Amino acid sequence: MPIAIKMPALSPTMEEGTLAKWLVKAGDTVKSGDILAEIETDKATMEFEAVDEGVVVSIDIPEGTEGVKVGAVIATIAGEDEDATPAAAPTPAAAANPAPVVASAVAAPAPVPAPAAAPVVAGNRVIASPLAKRLAAEKGIDLSTIKGSGPNGRIVRADLEGTAAPAAAPAAAPAAAPVAAATPAPVPDFGIPYTAAKLNNVRKTIARRLTEAKQTIPHIYLTVDVRLDALLKLRAQLNTALEASGVKLSVNDLLIKALAKALVQVPKCNVSFAGDELRSFKRADISVAVAAPSGLITPIIVDAGAKSVSAIATEMKALAAKARDGKLQPHEYQGGTASLSNLGMFGIKQFDAVINPPQAMILAVGAGEARPYVVDGALAVATVMSATGSFDHRAIDGADGAEMMQAFKALVENPLALVA
């Protein structure tokens, strides 16, 4: 029988995605492992491989279609000894509303219950108990919209519990009320010329998650000034030693290591608030903010505290490249116990970052710059960086956050501990 190819769940949180590009067409022969399509999730664009062998009979969802639900049939493959005559490609109208295609391709678990949902009527009369009729009249409820649970579908009092009266709609245009309620208020442009670009899935997810984070997580911010001179000197020495291997350390690579070791030293900050429990992690996995064309994404350096700085540099370079190309796999960006966001390369002196849930802290790093600084009891000029930790105050007390920031500062200012 024909094999239905369904929209895959490419991450544990994925509910829908955009079918960005088809790499096969109707009539093509495919085998297990062939790339069928590119699918844009809420984090990245990922390749979707074939599992079965056969001939593509139809492409049921055209490329470019947004909001395709996980489990929806997107194509059909005919196996051996089956009719593999290609079906007609879906029309633009079908692309705009793929639900009918999915419904026709996937067997429903039960018949559509439209006739059974209507109340029992005798002629034009709805069958209901006298009490139900009186309560409906008092509440302004249309009994023809209620399904009865009594004998032979009779509407009884219990069927009306929790049912609210319909909102009054303007008499002249009753059909317009639901549309007005579901449509967000238009944003005025005040006559200013502009262009509009539809949000991609990544930007939608960023907007949703950051809004939730600021609304649900009580942030506390702690800032320290960190002297970088010793770290910069060590970085130069290490890069000279690593030159033959082709590895080049960035300041950010060393800061990743410093944050991970600080979390290991202060485990009360390497935690996550999970409803009625507090999770304390056994290792420090650092999510590193990377600006990609589709939006911000945070690839993860797993167990960064136990890795050498050269290993971190090599891994971070590869992950950043994949992030910018939209090729990260779910395990490369999902998880992490804390995050690092560095805007120093843009000359930003100091900023407060939004926590990336379910993590409980994020470190925001500014630019290293020459500042007046007290060195050995005397005023001097030093290279100083401001770092701000954002902590989830439900999980981390201010004193514990301050201890972690102090540990981070000590590691950066005495960086030999990062390579020990």
Tell me the pLDDT of the chain (420 aa) as tens digits.
Answer: 678 889 888 776 678 888 888 999 888 888 888 888 888 876 677 788 888 788 888 999 998 888 888 889 999 988 655 555 555 545 444 444 443 333 333 333 444 444 434 455 544 567 777 667 777 777 778 777 787 777 667 787 777 766 655 554 444 444 444 444 445 678 888 889 988 888 877 788 888 888 999 999 999 999 999 999 999 999 999 999 999 999 999 999 999 999 999 999 999 999 999 989 999 999 999 999 998 887 888 999 999 999 999 999 999 999 999 988 888 888 899 899 999 999 999 999 999 999 999 999 999 999 999 999 998 899 999 999 999 999 999 999 999 999 999 999 999 999 999 998
Q: For the chain, what are the domain ranges? A: 3-105, 114-172, 203-419
For the question of residue 393 being annotated catalytic, the response is yes
Inter-residue contact 48 to 37 (CB < 8 Å): yes
User: Which uninterrupted H or E stretch holds 122?
Assistant: strand 121-122
Does the fold of domain 203-419 match that of domain 114-172? no
- Residue 87 has phi, psi (to 5 degrees) of -85, 160
Provide the 10 A C-beta neighbour count for residue 264.
18
Those residues whose C-beta lies under 8 Å from the C-beta of residue 133, and which sit 6 or more positions away, are 143
Provide CATH code, domain 114-172: 4.10.320.10
Specify the long-range contacts of residues 369-378, CB closer than 8 Å, at least 24 apart. 371/225, 373/225, 373/227, 375/227
User: Which uninterrupted H or E stretch holds 241?
Assistant: helix 229-242
CATH superfamily of 203-419: Chloramphenicol acetyltransferase-like domain (3.30.559.10)
Q: What is the pLDDT of residue 83?
A: 57
In the CATH hierarchy, which top-level class contains the domain 3-105? Answer: mainly beta
Q: Residue 150 corresponds to which tokens in the numbers above?
A: 């009594």
Catalytic residue among 70, 267, 393, 400: 393
